[in-house]
Amino acid sequence: MNIKNEVLARVYLVLFIVIALGIIIFSKAIYISKVEGNKWRSMGDSLYVRMVNVEAQRGSILADDGGILATSLPNFDVRMDMNSTGLTDLIFKNGVDSLAYCLSRMKGAEMDFSGYKNFLVTKRKAADRYVMIRKSATYEDLELIKNFPIFRLGKNKGGLIVERKNIRERPFNLLARRTIGYIREGTQPIGLEGYYNSILEGHAGKQLMQKVSNDAWIPVNDMTSVEPKSGDDIKTTLNINMQEIAHNALQESLETYDGKHGCAIIMDVKTGAIKAMVNLGKENGEWVENYNYAIGMSSEPGSTFKAASMMAMLEDGLISLKDTVHLQQGSTKYCNVELVDAEKHKLGKVTVKEAFEESSNVGISKLVTSVFGERNNAEKFIRHLRDFNLHLPTGIELDGEAAPLIKDAFNQEQGWSCTSLPWMSIGYEVKITPLQILNFYNAIANNGQLMKPYLISEIQKFDKTIKVFNPIILKKKIASTKTINAMKELLEGVVESGTMKEYKSPLYNYAGKTGTAQLDYKRSETSSEIGGHQASFVGYFPAENPKYSCIVVVVDPKRGSFYGSTVAGSAFRKIADNCYASIAGLQTYITKNTPKKMELAALPSLSAGKGEELKTVLDKINYKYQTNKIEDYGAIVAQKDSIKLVSREITKNKVPNVIGMGLKDALFLLENKGMKVEIRGIGKVTEQSVPAGTIAKGQYVTLHLN
């Protein structure tokens, strides 16, 4: 009996525990279902369905004429869901042969007919829901694929999956690449792409996606839950023709003199608009835009800084250009440290103007120390440099601009010593970027008015301007008119009779200053070591009425020469020559009097076009004319008492001359070169915005008709 009771007690205990556990489990199930149900259901759904961002169309970056510098082109990955609910065995069987044939006939197909068929059948048997059919397809490819057998049935029955990507294209390749910049995952945004990313990127959309394998997600439907909003376009001040001119001149100089790297900038004098910015360095034997030296390279400029020293002295009225200074045959000492001129000479007493034109280190340093040598005067010299804004960045709309270094007078922490003042006067113990020194010279060309350099003129949306960026004046006057005029005389003298006299032009005048700076130099009481040179030239053209300022810097030239005049000045001259030849408004008449317009009222209204058509017109009206062999296109040229029919050459890959042509011929020639044409007026072409002979690279060209 005792044993029976003990067994029953144990049975009841076990039963009680089981019932209790059941009640707890049941209660927990009710709690999870009713109280936490939504939470767990959403977590379950998130494992298989989720909302993902849909990339917006990125805005374009445009040149000053509206031509495209960078744009996003749609690109598509085409996939196939072999287990789509509507894709029956019958549909697949009836269409697989035709689909395989169509895929094999596409340009760039990776397999033949049998290869595609075996591939599709194998993936169908494996019920693969994320089969790559065509990677990086163009829009034209996609439209073709959508009409292929099976795929034409759509997403459900045809299993067609289309994933859109935007590929960033730069039609001009290397030109202005660093200035345009890029956005790459995991790296610092660069250039205009980075600085204006918030404007260019737009707003991403949302789309419901379903998980079909470990790493594969496909759209639940063809509709986005939230439509993406395209980014806005930004219109730059860059002129692609001037960019190419500067690029070619800088690269030629780097190759000729075996330079390490360099930069060239062209700026509009009146506005501060950057028309070209070139940065070239070498990687794996190729010239690339790998760093923005124009704004990021803060270095000792050398003799180009002498203009600031001279301007500080002139502003105080303590010297004149006719005063004299002794050059001591090109050598002097400060605190027992020798300072020498760049080239040996035997010059003694010369005028201040001659010392500047010959870029004498001895002459300029002696003048500065005589005027600003005392403690209070040294501080005044530094104040002048700050009045010229040389201690401040320009504020250009690019990240990475290096800050200039202008020491405080007698500041021991900044390394001020008894040699600092003379060395600063000739461009050492200071640091400044090429853009910052260019902006200073631009102010001289602009009669003392200092402009803020800028790269963006407009923000556009669907070709409509929504915001305009106007030129900004940083200082109305950095020095007196008298001082500015004296500086212009000095800078013109450098080209006319100074260090740049070998490179003066017979067609126009320009002004500027050479610079040959020593790099990584080490001085001691007995010797000095030089780690290389930096050649530069900065100036403006035409000298009488400056339109553009420009700087060229070549770092560490190792072959032939290292002087600023030869290495950088020659490149500046090529830039100015080509701009002068190709940009309307820079040229001046050779004769004193403006030539009269030729009367063409008696000539046929169509003065250029197809050669045979011109002959037909002239013959029809019985008009006598002279002619040579006409290849294809010709033009009517007025003589003194007759007219002549001459051939007009059409060169491959260059913008043709369509002046005088009717719209039909002009459109045919320009559009065949890949150019986009905007038409204004009616009649025949009287003006074209892109000059004839320019390399044709898909630019926009405006034709004025009358």
Q: Kindly state the tokens that stand for 327.
A: 């050059």
Scanning the structure block, which residue is given the tokens 């594969």? 216
State how far the Cα of 153 lies from the Cα of 144, in Å rounded to an integer. Answer: 14
Cα-based distances in Å from 78 to 51, 84, 128: 21, 15, 14
Is residue 142 scored above 70 in pLDDT? yes
Which pLDDT score is estimated for 40?
54
Is residue 18 scored above 50 in pLDDT? yes
Domain 243-582, CATH homologous superfamily name and number: DD-peptidase/beta-lactamase superfamily (3.40.710.10)
Q: Kindly state the tokens that stand for 489.
A: 């005389």
Is residue 91 scored above 90 in pLDDT? yes
Is residue 598 scored above 50 in pLDDT? no
Residue type, position 310, single letter:
M
State how far the Cα of 248 lies from the Cα of 444, in Å rounded to an integer. Answer: 27
Is residue 593 scored above 80 in pLDDT? no
Percent of the chain with pLDDT over 90: 52
Is residue 347 scored above 90 in pLDDT? no
Is residue 564 scored above 50 in pLDDT? yes
Q: Kindly state the tokens that stand for 226.
A: 């939230």
Q: Where are the domains of the chain?
A: 2-47, 52-234, 243-582, 608-705
DSSP code per residue over 13-55: HHHHHHHHHHHHHHHHHHHHHHTSHHHHHHHHHHTTEEEEEEP
Angle of the 306-315 helix axis to the 434-445 helix axis, nearest 10: 40
Within 415-513, residue ranges assigned H as helices are 420-425, 434-445, 481-497
Are 698 and 589 in contact by the 8 Å Cβ rule? The answer is no
Of 676 and 55, which is predicted with more confidence? Answer: 676
State how far the Cα of 243 lies from the Cα of 170, in Å rounded to an integer. Answer: 14
Confidence tier at 27 by pLDDT (50, 70, 90): confident
Burial degree of 297 (CB within 10 A; 0-12, 13-18, 19+): buried
DSSP code per residue over 194-226: HHTHHHHS-B-EEEEEEE-SSS-EEESSSS-SB
Which pLDDT score is estimated for 605?
44
Of 351 and 186, which is predicted with more confidence? Answer: 351
Residue type, position 448, single letter:
G
State how far the Cα of 571 lies from the Cα of 255, in Å rounded to an integer. Answer: 12
Cβ neighbours for 240, distance < 8 A, ≥ 6 positions apart: 63, 65, 67, 69, 172, 175, 176, 697, 699
Report domain 608-705's class.
alpha beta
Are 537 and 563 in contact by the 8 Å Cβ rule? The answer is no
Reported as half-sphere exposure (CB side, CA atoms, 13 A), residue 329 has a value of 1
Of 3.90.1150.10, 3.90.700.10, 3.90.1310.10, 1.10.1040.10, the CATH number of 52-234 is 3.90.1310.10
Confidence tier at 209 by pLDDT (50, 70, 90): low
Are 352 and 344 in contact by the 8 Å Cβ rule? The answer is no
Which pLDDT score is estimated for 279?
97
Residue type, position 454, single letter:
Y
Which pLDDT score is estimated for 628?
67
Closest CA to 536 of 390, 438, 440: 438
Q: Kindly state the tokens that stand for 82.
A: 């072999």
Scanning the structure block, which residue is given the tokens 């591939």? 119
Is residue 270 scored above 50 in pLDDT? yes
Q: Where are the beta strands (DSSP E) in 81-192?
A: 131-137, 160-169
Which pLDDT score is estimated for 46?
47
